[in-house]
Amino acid sequence: MQRPHHKFWPKRLPHSLRPPATSLWDNLAISAQRYPDKAALVFFGQVLTYKDVQQQAERLAARLYTLGVRQGDRVMLDMQNCPQLVIAHFAILRANAVVVPVNPMNRAEELKHYITDPDAKVAITTADLAAEIARANNALPEGQRLAHMIVTHFTDAFDVQGPGAQDMPAAWRDWLLAKHPLPALEGGETIGWQAALDTMAAAPELLVGPGDLAILPYTSGTTGLPKGCMHLHASIMHNAVSSSVWGNATAENVTLLVVPMFHITGMVSVMHASIYASATLVVMPRWDRDLAGRLISQWKVTAWTNIPTMVIDLLGSPSFDQFDLSSLVHIGGGGAAMPQAVAQRLLEQFGLRYVEGYGLTETAAPSHSNPPDDPKQQCLGIPFMSCDARVIDPETLHEVTTGEQGEIIVHGPMVFDGYWKRPDATAGVFIEFAGKRFFRTGDLGYVDADGYFFLTDRLKRMINASGFKVWPAEVEALMFRHPAIQEACIISARDSYRGETVKAVVVLRASHKGQVSEQDIIDWCRANMAVYKVPRIVQFADALPKSGSGKVMWRTLQEAEARTD
């Protein structure tokens, strides 16, 4: 059925796409067969070919098998962007196992959940994070701990004396070049990266296909601990292939990979899409505007997926005039709206239309994207390939009219299979609509007359800080561990750079009043949770507003904060 947005559909593309009926591993294997000597990964000047990546992933898969990893087992993967993350990700898939990507900013208290909930017995990480995982593991009861941890140093992936290494930001040198001792794993063993790859064993037979579990990324919510989103090879494959063709990707693409690969966008829309297309990935471990400018210039980067704050930062660099961005042909991203003035500058100065998209962990990144030739600004875009999206009244569940606000719901092959071990939560986010199973996003928006979707608000309680989703219930649960905190309520506050930032309204225990400062609370949070979750503002209160049933009325605090903006 023709929908209004089909008028703006890229004419070269079908409305839906049938992805390959193979595993995600096959994408790497096929690219390595076609382009064995082509650069797959570039990291501080070091080039790994597709053949290199395939061979190292197969050796690591063989090691995982000798460590007892079997089909369907979950393997924890906790790293900043680096070649080893890509190798380990595909090794886990090659071992017929399931990747559990973990945000490397998580601290020990948070990491316990990523060991126990997926029943992980093996973790793969970088040396700068290994001690934190060991601390989390060693605090767990026997029987819930890891059996093995494979640890790599960043220097396993590049020549520290090479010219590429000399180009790294000075502030990163201690972090990237440091040699950390391998921490002890109670009840288990820690294995170095080279030792793990040094095996003559063969990788097991590849048994998995489209219908098997591939990735278990975690997403937080309005209540409780983060929930694992079960993604099959098929759902990730669909959006990897669709993202590739939507962005006109070819094997000649050179992609700047700086959005984190632990996150669904970096993993699917950048890493998997690029590997499928046999493109070259220029890898940055984290954001630095001047390094990004130099890499785009040096490697003639053609495609860059980002969050808008990165573009704003790069354009504001004092060295900006020294960079050559002329090779860029595709730029886009999501997580937050691109300011209209910045989008206009990209168009006027570089002829680049910024392509915004929208998606959730549950939808394997894009469920919506702007057509590259017809994007609208501050817009989620149109339903992605093979996707049916509607806007409904969240109470009546009836579709609303054009321009009317309602909840965005999504149906398509990119939608996840459900929450790991949480049938109740799964049942709560799916509805039958128009004879199909739709996922309720919890986001409020509307559709314009052209069929483009716009975000207006959230049903779910969530803070979007520079594209990072912060779930207040999770932050509150961690803050309650502080001995001085009697109650805490997390709300969002406006921030000129991050868009939103995290604010905590805190009631101190009587015994600690006058003994603990706002900065003390912030410092404790920084030591006990990922930095993007840490409240930037702490406000002490004598009491929190509560309903008749005793529930904290967070909306009252949020509305009061909005009035102060």
Q: What CATH number is associated with residue 505?
A: 3.30.300.30
Range 85-99 average pLDDT: 98
Q: Smallest Cα–Cα separation from 288: which of 116, 375, 172?
A: 172
Q: What is the rounded distance in angstroms from the CA atom of residue 10 to the CA atom of residue 42?
A: 31
The answer on pLDDT for 536 being more than 80 is yes
DSSP letter for 279, please. -
Q: Confidence band (pLDDT; 50, 70, 90) for 220?
A: confident
Q: Give the end of a domain, one of 208, 239, 271.
A: 208
12 inside domain: no
SS3 percent helix, strand, coil of the chain, rounded to 5, is: 35, 25, 40
307 and 467 in contact (C-beta within 8 Å)?
yes
Q: Give the end of a domain, one of 173, 208, 243.
A: 208
Helix H or strand E encompassing 411: strand 406-411
Identify the domain containing residue 530 by its residue range: 463-564
Q: Confidence band (pLDDT; 50, 70, 90) for 245?
A: very high
152 and 176 in contact (C-beta within 8 Å)?
no
Q: Confidence band (pLDDT; 50, 70, 90) for 222?
A: low
426 and 419 in contact (C-beta within 8 Å)?
yes
366 inside domain: no
CATH of the domain at 199: 3.40.50.980
Helix H or strand E encompassing 446: strand 436-447
Range 389-404 average pLDDT: 96
Hey, what's the torsion of the CAs at 317, 318, 319, 323, to 10 degrees?
Answer: 50
DSSP letter for 181, please. P
236 inside domain: no
Distance of CA 380 to the CA centre of its chain: 18
Q: Confidence band (pLDDT; 50, 70, 90) for 498?
A: confident
pLDDT averaged over the chain? 94
253 inside domain: no
548 inside domain: yes
Q: Smallest Cα–Cα separation from 472: which of 440, 497, 494, 505?
A: 505
The answer on pLDDT for 126 being more than 80 is yes
Encoding tokens for residue 556? 């009252």
pLDDT (0 to 100) of residue 190: 98
Range 518-535 average pLDDT: 95
- Looking at 118-180, list the stretches that DSSP marks H as alpha helix, in order from N- to C-terminal side: 127-138, 163-166, 173-177
Classified as helix, coil or strand, 403 is coil
Q: How many domains does the chain have?
A: 2
The radius of gyration computed from the CA coordinates of the chain, to the nearest angstrom, equals 23
Hey, what's the torsion of the CAs at 233, 234, 236, 237, to 10 degrees?
Answer: 100
Quick: pLDDT tens for 179-205: 999 999 999 999 999 999 999 999 999
Q: What is the rounded distance in angstroms from the CA atom of residue 251 to the CA atom of residue 31?
A: 9
Q: Smallest Cα–Cα separation from 406: which of 391, 425, 423?
A: 391
264 and 103 in contact (C-beta within 8 Å)?
no
The answer on pLDDT for 547 being more than 80 is no
73 inside domain: yes
Q: Give the end of a domain, one of 175, 208, 241.
A: 208
DSSP letter for 169, please. -
Distance of CA 108 to the CA centre of its chain: 20
Tell me the residue length of the chain: 565
Interior angle at CA 366, CA 360 and CA 368, nearest 5: 105
Q: What is the DSSP string of 64-96?
A: HHHTT--TT-EEEEE--SSHHHHHHHHHHHHTT
Quick: pLDDT tens for 344-381: 899 999 999 999 999 999 999 999 999 998 999 889 99
518 inside domain: yes
Q: Confidence band (pLDDT; 50, 70, 90) for 550?
A: low
536 inside domain: yes
